[in-house]
Amino acid sequence: MSATLAHADLPLAGIRVIEFTHMVMGPTAGVVLADLGADVVKVEPVGGDHTRTLLGSGAGYFPMFNRNKRSICLDLKSKAGLAAARRLIDGADVVIENFRPGALEKMGLGPNDFQESNPGLIYCSAKGFLAGPYGHRTALDEVTQMMGGLAYMTGPPGRPLRAGSSVVDITGGMFGAIAILAALQRRERTGKGGAVKCSLFETTAFLVGQHMAQQAVTGVPTAPMPVRVSAWAIYDVFETAKADEQLFVGVVTDSQWQTFCTLFDLGEIGSDPALAANNQRVLARDRILPVVRGLFALKNRSELVETLERAGLPFAPIAKPGDLFDDPHLNAQGGLVPVTLKDGSVTQLPALPLEIDGQRSGMRHDVPIAGADGADVLAEAGYSEAEIASLREAGALG
């Protein structure tokens, strides 16, 4: 495993973040900042964030997006819990929230409530929509994938299909982190904080923007990805000698085509000068692909991988998420970090996909137990031991 950066060397060391979030988008923004060194304090309801107990496809949300954070449980419906939250925000650099629109404002915890007490505060709201006619709607990742064209592009015609990950939640959270970093940089120049907002719907629109641009350029409505006209002749999943060992191969330049033809005997196709240019090959896909499919079906995937890797051509064995636990590349250089699950077992989950000075950010804090850091966080905010004990006795602190 490669060395990880010491906390003091992480770029956001010294930045305090108070996070009022659940599910995926808000926690993603928080975990990006946490992995980059910020002290992220997650404010959960007494009893813990309900995301901790989700089943099925939601079972992995909490352990994936809440490492390197500390946890405090506050009853925001109580006067004392609300006062504690306000004091935490007064001492923070950043707030992240993804409550329903207006919910924190009604509690007196909105961005305008700290302009005097903490004028340098960066306040990030993660919502379904930015300002506009849809602003009042309730949104989910899948809702905006459907209304934003991503599900249409992912599934076959007539069968819209959500992407196989919470891609809009995660990307939306990343945009939130980008906005926070930009606002922090502005604060360095001006001393002033400000409110930033990220959203699901506009994130989805950004993701499908390439398809909007394609339609604008070509004048033809874009077809779903399973039936699209590919930009390249060979850019497909192929069967190999073993039916369960599929392989993706892409040949995206004329020089790669020449290399591909040298590696594999394609007969007259490989020597046809009329196929030397990419666009000519795209028009001849129906002629080229059956030959390549027939050739690959006779070969073992391991043999094809070795040949393609040696030649420097793009390829990918088709993997399942569970295969990544044992991926040699991820395991060699800190690409996976140890995370303790709620049953006490330890697994390995993907690290932030960045290197800084050749090193990874790594883990400083395991996924927190609900409320485990409450006393420490309040003490840092100036609460005495007696005041903390009083909050517990009143049920305002979990």
Q: Exposure string (b/e) for 320-354, b if CB count within 10 Å is 16 or more?
A: eeeebeeeeeeeeebbbbebeeeeeeeebbebbee
Confidence label for 180 from pLDDT (cuts 50, 70 and 90): very high
For the residues 79-90, what does the mean pLDDT come to? 98
Q: Which CATH class is domain 230-322?
A: alpha beta
Confidence label for 7 from pLDDT (cuts 50, 70 and 90): confident
| Range scoring the smallest mean pLDDT among 27-31, 249-253, 265-269 | 265-269
The whole-number pLDDT of residue 210 equals 97
For the residues 228-254, what does the mean pLDDT come to? 95
pTM metric for this prediction: 0.94
Q: Which residues pair with 69 in a beta bridge?
A: 40
- Could you say which architecture CATH assigns to the domain 7-208+336-393? 3-Layer(aba) Sandwich (3.40)
The whole-number pLDDT of residue 12 equals 97
The whole-number pLDDT of residue 6 equals 85
For the residues 56-75, what does the mean pLDDT come to? 98
Count of positions (residues) in the chain: 398
Confidence label for 251 from pLDDT (cuts 50, 70 and 90): very high
Phi/psi-derived region of residue 397, left when phi > 0, alpha when psi is between -120 and 50, beta in every other case: beta
| Range scoring the smallest mean pLDDT among 28-32, 206-210, 216-220, 359-363 | 359-363
Residue 13 has pLDDT above 50, yes or no: yes
Chain-wide mean pLDDT for the chain? 96
Give the type of residue at 162: R
The whole-number pLDDT of residue 3 equals 67
Residue 1 has pLDDT above 50, yes or no: no
DSSP 8-class letter at 303: H
Same CATH fold, 230-322 and 7-208+336-393? no
For the residues 218-240, what does the mean pLDDT come to? 94
The whole-number pLDDT of residue 301 equals 97
Beta carbons within 10 angstroms of residue 91's beta carbon = 16
The whole-number pLDDT of residue 5 equals 78
- Tell me the domain boundaries of the chain: 7-208+336-393, 230-322
377 and 70 in contact (C-beta within 8 Å)? Answer: yes
Residue 241 has pLDDT above 50, yes or no: yes
Confidence label for 398 from pLDDT (cuts 50, 70 and 90): very high
Catalytic residues: 169
Q: Which two tokens stand for residue 356?
A: 């800084």
CA distances from 122 to 44, 119, 171, 210 (A): 20, 9, 20, 31
26 and 180 in contact (C-beta within 8 Å)? Answer: no
